Amino acid sequence: MSDNNMISSAVDRSMFRRIAPAVGLLVLAPWIGEYLLGNIPLDMLVAIPFLVPLYGGGALLIREVTRRTGRGWPTIMLLGLAYGVIEAGLVDQGLFNQNFSNVPTLGVTPIPILGISAYNAMSFIVGHAIWSISIPIAIVEMLTPSRRKTPWLGNLGLVLTGLLYLFGCWLIFQDQQATEGFLATPAQMLGAGAVALLLIVTAFLFENRPNDADGWVPKPWTLGTATFVWINAFFLRPESWDGVLLGAVLLLAGALVFLRLSRRREWSVRHEFALVAGTLPTYIFAGFVLTALVRPQDSLAWIGNAIFALIAIGLLIATGYRVRQME
């Protein structure tokens, strides 16, 4: 091989290593958010490029802006909630469409003045914030420990990511208009935009404080087990006003516990992995449940659930291995 070819090959490998985390997040966000959940079956895997701009672009944009401004997980989570409001309220408008995907939701905890279901609004928005945004970001960051807290993109890459996300919003909006034929009222869209903006502003009020406080921190396996119980209590809450109240209490309690524990000296990346390991399995079993409810006779969908579950388990094992190497 000539010197020029060797140099070109080295440059190509270096460039791939630089962009690999970003590419991984672009794909992982829609895969967890839709395919692992079982919302989209295996035979529609070819649709993932159409979901990458919205899901992947949104997750990558949130991650890059957060790390560039020196902030941490409270900012990511709040921006994830804003993402959920934008997607459900302005893009696919499932927040307001009471027959979204041919599933009637009008009778489930309705708030007539807003034209929404409180239960479904909480499920849509929080689901996106946790599984579509935060979990994919955490996994890819742990798989690339040397760049876990640093930006992955340059200025041009950040601009292109923002444009990719906007294109994804337009693409899914147009698709939903063609398939659902529903358009929220101007007041509803303005309200959703205002809530998203408030969440974005609030997200940047949280500075990335060092974990230097004294206090007890649970063992990672204890934290992971507690997280599994907590997130499934939220996921399986009843479709009622009691379920809405329970969900709000669980979310508030979880946020307060996380903020308190993550600022203590003994908190480590192993604890962050425990949160991921306790949360991701919810979408593994949810995929099978959703298939049983929506397409029980679709054998390919069941095969897809099994394949996706094995991939998710393998991903957790690989991530756990990388986390152990950081110690």
- The series of mean pLDDT values per 10 residues for the chain, 327 residues long, is 50 66 97 96 95 98 97 96 97 89 71 93 96 98 94 95 98 93 95 98 88 90 98 96 98 96 94 98 96 95 97 98 89
Which of 258, 301, 304 lies closest to 130, judged by CA?
258
Residue type present at position 193: G
Alpha-carbon Rg for the chain in angstroms? 20
CB-count exposure of residue 204 (10 Å: 0-12, 13-18, 19+) = middle
The pLDDT of residue 208 is 78
SS (H, E, C) the chain: CCHHHHHHHHHHHHHHHHHHHHHHHHHHHHHHHHHHCCCCCHHHHHHHHHHHHHHHHHHHHHHHHHHHCCCCHHHHHHHHHHHHHHHHHHHCCCCCCCCHHHCCCCCCCEECCCCEEHHHHHHHHHHHHHHHHHHHHHHHHHHCHHHCCCCCCCHHHHHHHHHHHHHHHHHHHHHHHHHHCCCCCHHHHHHHHHHHHHHHHHHCCCCCCCCCECCCCCCHHHHHHHHHHHHHHHHCCCCCHHHHHHHHHHHHHHHHHHHHHCCECCCCHHHHHHHHHHHCHHHHHHHHHHHHHHCCCCHHHHHHHHHHHHHHHHHHHHHHHHHHHHC
Look at residues 137, 139, 45 and name the one whose alpha carbon lies nearest to residue 83: 137
The pLDDT of residue 180 is: 87
Residues facing residue 116 across a β-bridge = 111
* Backbone phi, psi, residue 53, to 5°: -60, -45
Q: Could you tell me which of 157, 148, 123, 146 has the C-alpha nearest to residue 26? A: 157
Domain ranges of the chain: 26-326
Tokens 């893009």 identify what position? Answer: 91
Instruction: For residue 21, give Cα distances in angstroms to 64, 141, 142, 144, 145.
Output: 11, 8, 10, 7, 11
Q: How far is the C-alpha of 172 from the C-alpha of 87, rounded, in Å?
A: 9
Q: What is the pLDDT of residue 326?
A: 82
**Residue 106: predicted pLDDT:** 60
Cβ atoms of 149 and 67 within 8 Å: the answer is yes
Is residue 96 a contact partner of residue 184, using CB atoms and an 8 Å limit? yes
Q: Which pLDDT belongs to residue 278?
A: 98
pLDDT value of position 2: 56
pLDDT score at 10: 44
Residue 23's CB: how many other CB atoms inside 10 A?
A: 15
pTM here?
A: 0.94
Asked whether the CA dihedral 117, 120, 126, 132 is positive or negative, the reply is negative
